[in-house]
């Protein structure tokens, strides 16, 4: 009888855990050739800039701005996770800066989101959430909401070294959107936490950077209840 009770309890716990973690709807380990329909790269036309896959990682190695969009519209409650390293060695674009990301992005004037040059200012007309982790040559970490009209107010900000980047360190990033509340976590610790009175409930996710070399892997998207 005790064994049966324990099995029932374990099954119930497993079901609850699965519900909390959500349903995996997409995963990408960045092996094989670059799927240009699944991943859309917008690269500022600056010399010596490239986006490619290497050794199971997405590499953004650019002298100017770059956004790599995940070409699947996300809706409702979701969690997005990935691993990200800012590579600083002897590369031509190596710089400790700009581990950045857009999410719930859309263009209020155009159904087709993917029309920009990669230059940062060209995204000001979108609606989205944005975190610039280690921006401005690794002096700021900022959370903004873009309103689609050029307004992109600063919601939260850190300037201390504990919230800035370390070179060649593998970060685990998690973004969660649940019922209007969005959180941005690094290595399991919440960095930004925002409840939006007028939340963005659908849109696209994009990796974003400028003038640096980045290696990204283990991309996952979960639908949450």
In a domain, 57, yes or no: yes
- pTM as predicted: 0.90
* Residue range 157-216, pLDDT digits in tens: 999 999 999 999 999 999 999 999 999 999 999 999 999 999 999 999 999 999 999 999
Question: Interior CA angle at 126 toward 21 and 64, to 5°?
Answer: 95
- Residue 18 pLDDT exceeds 80: no
CA distance 152 to 70: 22
**Rounded distance between C-alpha atoms, residue 49 and residue 193, angstroms:** 34
Decide if 2 is inside a domain: no
Secondary structure (H, E, C), the chain: CHHHHHHHHHHHHHHHHHHHHCEEEEEECCCCCCCCCCEEEEECCCCCCEEEEECCEEEEEEEEEEEEEEEEEEECCEEEEEEEEECCCCCCCCCCCCEEEEEEEECCCCCCCCCCCCCHHHHCCCEEEEEEEEHHHHCEEEEEEEECCCCCCEEEEECCHHHCCCCCCEEEEEEEEECCEEEEEECCEEEEEEECCCCCCEEEEEEEEEEEEEEEEEEEEEECC
Specify the pLDDT at position 20. Answer: 59
Per-residue pLDDT, averaged over 46-66, amounts to: 96
pLDDT bracket for residue 19 (50, 70, 90): very low
Q: Mean pLDDT, to the nearest integer, of 67-88?
A: 98
pLDDT at position 11 over 70: no
Q: Which residues is 205 bridged to in the sheet?
A: 70
Q: Is the per-residue pLDDT at 70 higher than 80?
A: yes
Domains contained in the chain, number: 1
Task: Tell me how far apart the alpha carbons of residues 28 and 57 are, in angstroms, rounded to a whole number.
Answer: 10
| pLDDT > 60? residue 5 | no
CATH, residue 171: 2.60.120.560
The answer to whether residue 196 is domain-embedded is yes
Strand partners, 58: 53, 216
Residue 85 in this model has a pLDDT that exceeds 80: yes
222 touches 209 (CB < 8 A) = no
Between residues 16 and 40, which one has the greater pLDDT? 40
Residue 173 in any domain: the answer is yes
Mean pLDDT on 66-86: 98
How many CB atoms are located within 10 Å of the residue 99 CB? Answer: 26
- pLDDT band (50, 70, 90) for residue 21: confident
pLDDT digits (tens, 9 = 90+) for 105-122: 999 999 999 999 999 999
Phi, psi of 59, rounded to the nearest 5 degrees: -110, 125
Domain containing 171: what range? 24-223
Summary mean pLDDT of the chain: 93
Q: Does 15 map to a domain?
A: no
Answer yes or no: is 8 within a domain. no
In a domain, 183, yes or no: yes
- Is residue 64 within 8 A of residue 211, CB to CB? The reply is yes
Of the chain, the percentage scoring pLDDT greater than 70 comes to: 91
Confirm whether 3 is domain-assigned.
no
């Amino acid at each position: 009888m005790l064994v049966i009770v324990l099995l029932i309890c374990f099954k119930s716990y497993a079901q609850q855990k699965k519900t909390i973690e959500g349903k995996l709807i997409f995963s990408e380990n960045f092996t094989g050739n670059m799927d240009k329909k699944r991943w859309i790269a917008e690269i500022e036309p600056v010399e010596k800039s490239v986006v490619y896959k290497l050794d199971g990682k997405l590499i953004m190695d650019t002298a100017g701005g770059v956004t790599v969009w995940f070409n699947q519209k996300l809706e409702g409650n979701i969690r997005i996770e990935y691993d990200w390293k800012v590579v600083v060695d002897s590369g031509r674009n190596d710089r400790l800066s700009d581990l950045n990301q857009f999410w719930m992005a859309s263009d209020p004037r155009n159904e087709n989101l993917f029309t920009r040059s990669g230059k940062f200012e060209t995204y000001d007309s979108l609606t989205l959430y944005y975190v610039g982790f280690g921006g401005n040559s690794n002096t700021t970490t900022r959370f903004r909401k873009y309103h689609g009209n050029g307004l992109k107010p600063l919601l939260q900000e850190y300037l201390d070294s504990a919230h800035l980047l370390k070179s060649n360190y593998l970060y685990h990033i998690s973004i969660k959107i649940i019922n209007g509340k969005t959180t941005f976590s690094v290595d399991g610790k919440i960095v930004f936490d925002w409840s939006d009175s007028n939340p963005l409930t659908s849109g696209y996710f994009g990796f974003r950077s400028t003038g640096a070399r980045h290696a990204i892997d283990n991309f996952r998207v979960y639908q949450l209840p």
